[in-house]
């Protein structure tokens, strides 16, 4: 079942999603060589609770932490640990919150110090994929229009799209209908209407699309050990333009500062 949101509910979703963006901004300044990923997770949990909300992922299907922190060839769902970030790493940080009964969900891939040009391009293109998808998140289009836009741009740059993990509706549940794949065909899938709120989250691999799951039951990595990038926004479908409920503006500003 698809849950359409009222304007009031969309404002609550905006609140939860802006808190995710502020949390990612808060930890942006910690993204330096030598810090372990569990320390970043701790700060995020504290920050979310200080703002009258709960971590959205912690306890979800038994997930143990506040953030998913996925480094280099890890695609998503990396569990925070004693791993210390090092110069040249790329780090996808996925964050969820629950406030006033509604979820926020957004992810950003950070660079640690100097990152090689090939990998910087992967991040740039993945982020472009997200925004090209968002451009299609308007009334009258279909889910497949979003999927097609993402896949086309990724593959035009020689990259591949992860198939097994997809975007999703967001609301009182973290994962609602519909599924929003990052690959697909124009004009197919569910019609997009006002009131629909979805997370769009391209996971783009520099090499082949195949992934594997670690024995921890969570961490997803590329099968060929090449790097992977991930950016995610939660958006409300709009008439001419999607309403992006999370934001990267404050994260980008924080990164330029340091």
Structure tokens given for 26: 């808060």
Nearest alpha carbon to residue 91 among 30, 160, 1: 30
Q: Are 53 and 44 in contact (CB under 8 A)?
A: no
| Residues 88-147 close enough to bind ligand MF3 by CB under 6 A | 94, 96, 105, 107
Q: Are 107 and 95 in contact (CB under 8 A)?
A: yes
Q: Are 77 and 70 in contact (CB under 8 A)?
A: yes
Total of residues contacting Co ion (CB under 5 A): 2
* Shortest Å distance, C-beta 182 to ligand MF3: 12
Q: Which of 199, 200, 220, 226 binds Co ion (CB under 5 A)?
A: 199
Q: Which is nearer to ligand MF3, 3 or 63 (CB)?
A: 63
Q: Mask 12-51, x = binds ligand MF3 (CB under 6 A)? A: ----------------------------------------
| Residues 95-114 close enough to bind Co ion by CB under 5 A | 105
Q: Are 149 and 132 in contact (CB under 8 A)?
A: yes
Q: Mask 47-76, x = binds ligand MF3 (CB under 6 A)? A: ----------x--xx-x----x--------
User: Contact between 198 and Co ion (CB under 5 A)?
Assistant: no
Residue nearest Co ion, Cβ-based? 199
| Residues 181-200 close enough to bind ligand MF3 by CB under 6 A | 199
Q: What's the rounded Cα separation, in Å, for the pair 167 and 7?
A: 22
User: Contact between 176 and Co ion (CB under 5 A)?
Assistant: no
* Shortest Å distance, C-beta 113 to Co ion: 28
* Shortest Å distance, C-beta 70 to ligand MF3: 10
Q: What's the rounded Cα separation, in Å, for the pair 63 and 234?
A: 21
* Shortest Å distance, C-beta 83 to ligand MF3: 18
User: Contact between 77 and ligand MF3 (CB under 6 A)?
Assistant: yes
Q: Strand 160-161 vs strand 67-71: parallel, antiparallel, or unpaired? A: unpaired
| Residues 202-241 close enough to bind ligand MF3 by CB under 6 A | 232
User: Which residues lie near ligand MF3 (CB under 6 A)?
Assistant: 57, 60-61, 63, 68, 77, 94, 96, 105, 107, 168, 199, 201, 232
User: Which residues lie near Co ion (CB under 5 A)?
Assistant: 105, 199
């Amino acid at each position: 079942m698809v849950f359409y949101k009222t304007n009031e509910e969309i404002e609550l979703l905006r609140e939860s999603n802006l808190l995710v963006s502020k949390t990612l901004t808060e930890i942006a300044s910690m993204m330096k060589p030598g810090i372990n990923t569990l320390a970043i997770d701790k700060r995020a949990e504290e920050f979310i609770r200080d703002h009258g909300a709960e971590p959205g992922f912690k306890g979800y299907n038994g997930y143990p932490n506040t953030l998913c922190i996925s480094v280099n060839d890890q695609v998503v769902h990396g569990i925070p640990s004693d791993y210390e970030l090092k110069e040249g790493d790329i780090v996808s940080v996925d964050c969820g919150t629950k406030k006033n009964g509604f979820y926020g969900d957004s992810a950003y891939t950070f660079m640690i110090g100097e990152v090689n040009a090939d990998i910087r391009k992967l991040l740039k293109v993945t982020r472009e994929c997200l925004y090209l998808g968002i451009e299609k998140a308007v009334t009258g289009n279909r889910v497949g229009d979003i999927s097609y836009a993402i896949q086309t741009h990724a593959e035009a740059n020689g990259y591949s799209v992860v198939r097994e993990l997809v975007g999703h509706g967001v609301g009182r549940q973290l994962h609602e209908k519909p599924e929003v794949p990052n690959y697909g065909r124009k004009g197919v899938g569910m019609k997009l209407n006002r009131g629909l709120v979805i997370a769009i989250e391209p996971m783009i691999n520099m090499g082949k699309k195949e992934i594997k799951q670690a024995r921890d039951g969570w961490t997803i990595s590329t099968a060929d050990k090449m790097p992977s990038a991930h950016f995610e926004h939660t958006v409300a479908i709009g008439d001419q333009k999607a309403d992006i409920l999370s934001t990267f503006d404050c994260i980008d500003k924080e990164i330029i500062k340091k």
